[in-house]
Amino acid sequence: MSLRPLPEISASRLPDVCAFHLDDGAIDRYEALAPKAATDNSISILDVIGQDFLSGEGVTSKRIAAALRSIGEQDVVVNINSPGGDFFEGVAIYNMLRQHPAKVTVKVLGLAASAASVIAMAGDEVQIGKAGFMMVHNAWVVAIGNRHDLAAASKEMEPFDTAMATLYAERADVERPKAEQWMDAETWFNGEQAVEVGLADAFLPGDAATTRDGPKQMRAEMKAENAFIRAKMPRSERRSLIGELKGTQDAAPDAMQDAGALAAGLQGLMDTLKT
């Protein structure tokens, strides 16, 4: 019992004329506005690949496997902004995504470097921001010992680099030595360069909406460029041919309406090279 002389509160029910009853229609309208469970089947890779030794954080293949099981046999979007990390974890995640039975769309929001660029190659469609970046390089390792140990370590790294070069080459539709050159030089591609060389298919929707030539034309130009490269055509000559084909279309008020014609023209050039 309280030591203070507090008044008693009667808990008897109010008569119906005074009581408040929520209208059934109001309940229905409220439930219609209530937050719904997220239906976006997305996976975010926004950290180092593998478990970071210092922080204990990172994106692991175990986590991605759990996310894919939760999504099931549905389309999935993979958002990437990662500096890379553990090569084997990256390969495992890549293979999981490639085995996913539905469409996988990869979106490079900021950076897909090193092992994260390997993961990005798993997309059936790879989108990248115009201000985004991809970086490819040879695998790293920490080695210690005498010259024979170091030579052996170098030899052991070759299969890893070969696997990555093959992957990049197939994605970009270039010869493997070209991809090996990118890796040897630790090459950074901005969004436009990634689309141009074929490591990405298109820009993110927000950037694609402002692309003057349109994605169809850009993709056709990229394919023509790769065909000219395989034909060993000098860079200056390649650019000149594509520029001549575009002609006065660049000066048109809206190049989008001419994108189909240009794409057809570029395809014709590619067919000519094959004959």
pLDDT at 161: 96
Same domain assignment for residues 201 and 229: no
Kindly report the average pLDDT of the chain as a whole number.
79
Encoded amino acid at 267, one letter: Q
Mean pLDDT for 241-247 is 67
Model confidence at 235, pLDDT cuts 50, 70, 90, reads: low
Kindly state whether residue 16 falls inside one of the protein's structural domains.
no
Mean pLDDT for 77-88 is 96
Same domain assignment for residues 119 and 201: yes
pLDDT at 266: 61
More confident residue, 171 or 256: 171
Model confidence at 230, pLDDT cuts 50, 70, 90, reads: low
Same domain assignment for residues 73 and 187: yes
Same domain assignment for residues 164 and 217: no
Same domain assignment for residues 153 and 218: no
**Which segments of 94-161 are extended strands (E)?**
104-113, 125-128, 133-136
Encoded amino acid at 236, one letter: S
Percent of the chain with pLDDT strictly greater than 90: 56
pTM greater than the 0.85 cutoff: no
Q: Phi, psi (5° rounding) for residue 241?
A: -65, -45
pLDDT at 255: 41
| 177: Cα within 13 Å, side-chain hemisphere | 2
Task: Look at residues 175, 190, 208 and tell me which one is the last residue of a structural domain.
Answer: 208
Kindly state whether residue 168 falls inside one of the protein's structural domains.
yes
Same domain assignment for residues 259 and 186: no
Alpha-carbon distances of 161 from 108, 110, 172, 207, rounded to whole Å: 22, 24, 16, 32
Same domain assignment for residues 244 and 150: no
Same domain assignment for residues 217 and 106: no
Model confidence at 32, pLDDT cuts 50, 70, 90, reads: very low
Supply angle C-alpha 255, 224, 239, rounded to 5: 75
Structure confidence by residue, pLDDT tens digits, 38-59: 446 999 999 999 987 777 789 9
What's the domain count of the chain? Answer: 2
SS3 assignment, position 127: strand
CATH number at residue 103: 3.90.226.10
Task: Look at residues 208, 225, 253 and tell me which one is the last residue of a structural domain.
Answer: 208
Concatenated DSSP letters for 37-70? PP---EEEE-S-BS--TTT---B-HHHHHHHHHH
119 token code pair: 């993961």
Same domain assignment for residues 179 and 228: no
Tell me the residue range of the domain where 153 lies.
Answer: 42-208
Kindly state whether residue 21 falls inside one of the protein's structural domains.
no
